[in-house]
Amino acid sequence: MRTGKRAVLVGPNKPLEIWEAPVDPPTGAEVLVAVEMAGVCGTDHHFYLGEVAMPGPMVLGHEGIGRVVECGPDVTTDSAGTPITEGDRVYWVPLKPCHRCHACTILEDTSLCPHQSPGRFRDPLLTPFATYTEYSLLPGGMTFFKVPEDTPSEAVIAFGCAMPTVLHAMERLGQIRFGDKVLVQGAGPVGLAATLVAGLSGAGEVVVIGAPASRLEMAKRLGATSTIDLDVHNTSEQRVAAAQEIMGGGADIVIEAAGKLPAFGEGTELVARGGRYLIVGLWSAPGTTELEPRKINNDNVRIIGSALSRPRHIYKTIQMAQQYHTRFPLTDVVSHRFGLEDAQSAIDAVGRQEPIKAVIQPGLEA
């Protein structure tokens, strides 16, 4: 019987524990994957802090690249119909829509499915499909896609779940018109993904507000035309003034990717008349904030919320990595690597915002 280790969050603010348990062979439409890289997402840190509810011990990680160990008898292709076999590299975000609810069938928007993360809260001793593990068992119906051999794993995992999330958000935003001024709040993986996509979509200016300096430098390498350092412009008034000076007024499009509640009010000040404000990063930031509805009304501002992604956005993330990893430094976005046994250090580093992108590589020596 094969066994595997996994990093388990037993409770908020408690150190991750490494548990080992049997790994069941795949049956039916299941696929067993040996994890090569697990992205460390800011949401994992929010779970660790207890800012997102968890009903019990859980295996962290929802961004995965790995090699197929074994396919169940009903599996011959990935979710796009590409033939799949043992040894192939695959990419997955462990969301599994139910396809039997109003969101899935009537709205035809699986990102709104309330039942799509059943495995996140299963007993960690069972075979999970989270990613802070040596092995993940992908259940039938979970989306996964083959990664072309000419595409580095780092280029696919560079933004983790952020790139599918941003691609979904950009669809909801609508077209970025040629020459539009775009302001991105935040220089973490979501903000960097938005920077890359905005530039490729024809934006004339892409201004990024964030920190630390290493992330802002990466933003420039990914297409930002200007950056505003939070460590230098450390008040909202300073940031608003700096952004308005760079853009000659407000931004046609503001993208909230900071994940911090105060960013919302600041962002509404930066939207130009007739502009759009896209909210992407506040998934794990509960609370309320003041808003002047008159500005939204009188300036014809549109506010668009967007969460998670759909299967096609996971597929398009691979396509983007394949097409652009030689033009942009996508592999360099992965700045920190940790072994599975050192998963707690990875969580702590992300909490301090030290990495551009951190990954956990099972088997990597600490």
Contact yes or no for 91/321 (Cβ under 8 A) = no
Q: How many CA atoms lie within 13 A of 54 on its CB side?
A: 29
Q: Are residues 155 and 167 in the same domain?
A: no
Q: Do 190 and 152 belong together in one domain?
A: no
Q: Is residue 191 part of a domain?
A: yes
Q: Is 314 a member of any domain?
A: no
Cis peptide before 55 (omega within 30 of 0): no
Q: Name the more confident of 184 and 140.
A: 184
- The pLDDT tens digits for 146-166 are 999 999 999 999 999 999 999
Place of tokens 């908020």: 12
Quick one: average pLDDT of 41-62?
A: 85
Write the pLDDT tens digit of every residue in 56-80: 788 889 999 999 999 999 999 999 9
Into how many domains does the chain fold? Answer: 2
In a domain, 140, yes or no: yes
Question: Is the pTM for the entire model greater than 0.95?
Answer: no
Q: How far is CA 357 from the centre of its chain?
A: 10
Nearest to 278 by CA among 309, 312, 315, 307: 307
In this structure, are 8 and 144 located in the same domain?
Answer: yes
Residues 191 and 282 in one domain: yes
**CA-CA distance, 36 to 153, in Å (whole number)?**
9
Structure tokens at 132: 């802070």
CATH of the domain at 167: 3.40.50.720
**154 shares a domain with 169:** no
As a whole number of angstroms, the distance between CA 26 and CA 320 comes to 30
Q: Is the pLDDT of residue 123 over 50?
A: no
DSSP 83: B
User: Does 173 map to a domain?
Assistant: yes
Phi, psi (deg, nearest 5) at residue 307? -130, 145
Q: Which domain holds residue 222?
A: 163-305
Calculate the average pLDDT of the chain. Answer: 91
HSE-up (13 A, CA, CB side) for residue 224: 26
Q: Which pair of structure tokens corresponds to residue 8?
A: 């388990």
Domain shared by 133 and 107, yes or no: yes
Please indicate, yes or no, whether residues 102 and 130 belong to a single structural domain of this protein. yes
CATH of residue 33: 3.90.180.10
In a domain, 98, yes or no: yes
- Whether residues 168 and 155 share a domain: the answer is no
